[in-house]
Every structure is written in structure tokens, then in C-alpha cells.
Amino acid sequence: MIDLTDRVALVTGASGGIGESTAKVLAENGADVVVTDVVDGIEETASTIEETGSKAIASEMDVTDEDEVEAVVEATLDELGRLDILGNVAGIFPTHTLEEMTKNDWEQVIDINLTGTYNCTQAVLPAMREQNYGRIVNVSSASGGHIGWSNDLAHYAASKGGVIGFTRSAALDVAQHGITMNAIVPGLIDTGAPQSVAEEEELEAGVQMTAFGRMGEPEEIANAVTFLAAEEASYITGAKLVVDGGYTLV
Ligand SMILES: NC(=O)c1ccc[n+]([C@@H]2O[C@H](COP(=O)([O-])OP(=O)(O)OC[C@H]3O[C@@H](n4cnc5c(N)ncnc54)[C@H](O)[C@@H]3O)[C@@H](O)[C@H]2O)c1
């Protein structure tokens, strides 16, 4: 049984979708959670968590702003005493044809999805090294290595493929400090994000590409993050855990 009692987690992009669900499932398993995002919703997520008996802190935090990230990590250590788990979930998912894509579109996606993951990781590592313990879970995407239902995502695919490369290489660097780093590779998850970029027909075609013939629920990703965040996942590092209902099987 997973028991995260006395563990402290920081989750990015936790106002809604997969991040919110991850924060809640970590808390249901005993962790205290710092709930961060750039949009409204962190207070609601934090209040729900407190109902489970875990501590929760809501902090506005833009993953592209290194100073802000460092300040939130510092406040976490001051208020909760440690930092064991980082869930790098924040991400954006805009579509642009390559022809229309501007350098600014490209940089925005890379900055949030890839550099944001790097910024948060660098900020938590000193505390994790000192504790000689840490669990970092990065949310990538099937789009990072498998081109399926939606095109016009070259920047997104590059950012999420980058998250896999970062995870695998950095896992080697941090292993000596008792820290694991793994990536989750979700397929189509019913958070509203896929619906915001795809027509209904296109989305339905994507759903039909999954072995289960349905989208995943945010909790199904949160459960996988929580497993990798647990002590029980002690011999797993640099791994890609595909959670896609069989979407990349064909
Ligand atoms: N939903 C899917 O089908 C799917 C599939 C594969 C991967 N993913 C990945 O899962 C993660 C969560 O996606 P979701 O579907 O829950 O979408 P979502 O839009 O509900 O959640 C993403 C969150 O990230 C936050 N965010 C955006 N920019 C930020 C920034 N600069 N700093 C901090 N937070 C920021 C948003 O405000 C939002 O709350 C993303 O990284 C996404 O790429 C989602």
C-alpha cells in the first residue's frame, strides 16, 4: 500500500486537469502538497486537499520564472520542513501549422513545457540531495514520440520529446543522491485540453486509435504519478511509463 505520510510534494499546473488530480491523489495517500499554477483554482484544490487531513499550500508560480520557483521552494522548506516529491505537470498545448508558427509560438511552448520542467527540477534538487531522497515525475506526452491523431504540434512534440531526454539523462546524474526521476507518457486524457484544440470528429478519430476506445481520466494519470512518487518505486528511474489506454500500440 502506498503511504506518503510525512512526505511533502510540490505539483505544478495544479489548478485543474491532471495537475489538480495529481495533487489530490498524492494527498489522499498522505502527502502534504504545495499546489501551484498561474491561473485561478489553486485555492480550491488546496481546500479540497485539506478536507482529506493533509496540509496544503496554494502558491501562484509560473514555471518559466526561476526566481518565483526558487521562492516557492524556499517557502515550502520553511513551512513544511522538507520536499520529497516534484510533479512537473504544467504545460500548454497550442496548435500551429509549421507554416504559420512564429518563433514566439515555438519559444513559448519550449519555455513552459521543457524549460519549466528544468527550472523546477533545479530548484528542488539541493533539498533532495541534502535529504538523500527525492522523487521527480515529469509529465511528457504520447506526442513526444508518436504522431497520432493531431498534427500542427511540432513545438509541443519537440518539448515533450525533450522532457523524455531530460528525464533519462538527469536520472543518471541524480541517482547517487537517492533521487529517482521518471516520465509519464499520457495518451488522450479527458481534461478539456484536447477538446480545446481539436474538432469533435478529429478527437473521436483519436479516441478510436486507443485500444480501450475511450479517453483516459485525469485520475488514471495521477495514480501513475503517485506510484512513481512512492517509496515502493525505489528501483525505477529514467523510465517512461506509458499511460495511454493502448493509444501508441498501433
Ligand atoms: N490532456 C491530455 O490529453 C494530455 C496528454 C498528454 C500530455 N498531457 C500533459 O499533461 C499536462 C497537464 O495537461 P492537462 O490536460 O491537465 O491540461 P490543463 O490545461 O488542464 O493543465 C495544464 C495546467 O498548466 C498550467 N500552466 C500553463 N502554463 C503555466 C506556467 N507557465 N506555469 C505554471 N503553470 C502553467 C495551466 O494554467 C493549467 O492549469 C500537460 O503538461 C500536458 O501537456 C496532457
Could you identify the atom of ligand 1 that is nearest to the CA of residue 91?
41
Would you call 156 a catalytic residue per the annotation? yes
Residue nearest to atom 19 of ligand 1 (CA): 193
The HSE-up count of residue 135 (CA atoms within 13 Å, CB side) is 25
Question: CB under 8 Å to 235, separation ≥6 — which residues?
Answer: none
Low-confidence ranges of the chain (pLDDT < 70): 149-150
Q: Cα 27 from chain centroid? A: 16
Please tell me the predicted confidence (pLDDT) of residue 228.
Answer: 98
Please tell me the predicted confidence (pLDDT) of residue 78.
Answer: 98
Q: Is the CB of 141 under 6 A from ligand 1?
A: yes
Question: CB under 8 Å to 17, separation ≥6 — which residues?
Answer: 89, 189, 191, 192, 193, 218
Q: To test ligand 1's pocket by mutation, which of 24, 34, 63, 92 has the most ligand atoms within 8 angstroms of CB?
A: 92
Give 50's strand partners. none
Long-range contacts of 65-71 (CB under 8 A, 24+ apart): 65/119, 66/119, 66/123, 69/119, 69/120, 69/123, 70/123
Q: Is the CB of 191 under 6 A from ligand 1?
A: yes
- Chain segment 133-170, per-residue pLDDT in tens: 999 999 999 999 887 766 899 999 999 999 999 999 99
Please tell me the predicted confidence (pLDDT) of residue 156.
Answer: 96
Please tell me the predicted confidence (pLDDT) of residue 151.
Answer: 80
Please tell me the predicted confidence (pLDDT) of residue 124.
Answer: 98
Please tell me the predicted confidence (pLDDT) of residue 223.
Answer: 98
- Chain segment 3-19, per-residue pLDDT in tens: 999 999 999 999 999 99
Residue nearest to atom 43 of ligand 1 (CA): 91
Beta strands in the chain (DSSP E): 8-11, 32-37, 56-60, 85-88, 134-139, 179-186, 240-243
Residue ranges covered by each domain of the chain: 8-243
Residue nearest to atom 6 of ligand 1 (CA): 141
Answer yes or no: CATH 3.40.50.720 is held by domain 8-243: yes
